[in-house]
């Protein structure tokens, strides 16, 4: 590493992309407290963190890309060194578009680690200059997944708003309930 906080390409000697930035990519459908925790911790490590919301037209998403951007921005509004963008295509290409070389990933469990290991090997073939950096989920968030949150929001009847506060940031709760509760809104709150 050079003195000006630049990564040096081991083959060419070029120092073009700063290591002071990282990209955290995912669908964020919806954003969870686990995601927020990873971004907050990353924002303390890196000078700039870009949250990349992947757009997969083959996936049936709960929220549109624009809605996800808005919900993520609201959930992270106090972090001045975080930006939120959408992308389609490969994560490694998005990292390059952001002028970064760090692909940040959150890991909750050993099964996540196995999946991420395979993905990292693939990403290294696609772009050997992109480094994957892993942050372990905080213990209190390790069990949270988007599918679990959708189940809780869709099936809970009593105190669902209060229950969701343990899993998602406040700005996500109402839009999530509007999408998943019956049309009569009978949530018990």
Q: What is the pLDDT of residue 115?
A: 83
Q: Which ranges of the chain have pLDDT less than 70?
A: 1-19, 182-189
pLDDT of residue 19: 63
DSSP 3-state of 167: coil
CA distance 146 to 161: 16
**pLDDT for res 22:** 98
pLDDT of residue 183: 58
**C-alpha gyration radius of the chain:** 18
- The pLDDT, as a whole number, for residue 169 is 97
Q: Tell me what pLDDT residue 113 has.
A: 80
Residues catalogued as catalytic: 35, 59, 108, 146
**pLDDT tens for each residue of 117-172:** 888 899 999 999 999 999 999 999 988 988 889 888 888 777 888 889 999 999 99
Q: How far is residue 125 from each of residues 31, 48, 82, 102, 152, measured CA to CA in Å? A: 29, 26, 28, 15, 39
pLDDT at site 32: 95
> Kind and range of the H or E element at 131?
strand 131-136
Each domain of the chain, given as residue ranges in start order, spans 21-112+119-141, 146-180
Which pair of structure tokens corresponds to residue 129?
């200059």
Which residues, 6 or more positions from 176, have their beta carbon under 8 angstroms from its beta carbon? 30, 62, 149, 150, 153, 164, 168
The architecture of the domain spanning 21-112+119-141 is 3-Layer(aba) Sandwich (3.40)
């Amino acid at each position: 590493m050079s003195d000006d906080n630049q990564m040096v390409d081991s083959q060419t000697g070029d120092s073009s992309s700063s290591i002071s930035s990282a990209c955290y990519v995912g669908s964020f459908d919806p954003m969870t407290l686990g995601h927020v925790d990873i971004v907050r911790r990353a924002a303390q490590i890196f000078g700039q963190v870009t949250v990349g919301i992947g757009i997969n037209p083959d996936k049936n998403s709960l929220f549109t890309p624009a809605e996800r951007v808005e919900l993520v921005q609201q959930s992270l509004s106090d972090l001045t060194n975080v930006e939120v963008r959408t992308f389609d295509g490969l994560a490694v290409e998005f990292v390059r578009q952001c002028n970064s070389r760090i692909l940040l990933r959150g890991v909750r469990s050993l099964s996540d680690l196995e999946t991420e290991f395979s993905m990292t090997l693939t990403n290294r073939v696609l772009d050997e200059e992109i480094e994957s950096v892993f942050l372990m989920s905080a213990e209190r968030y390790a069990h949270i997944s988007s599918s679990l949150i959708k189940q809780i929001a869709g099936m809970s009847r009593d105190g669902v708003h209060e229950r969701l506060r343990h899993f998602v940031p406040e700005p996500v709760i109402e839009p999530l309930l509007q999408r998943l509760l019956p049309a009569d809104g009978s949530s018990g709150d």
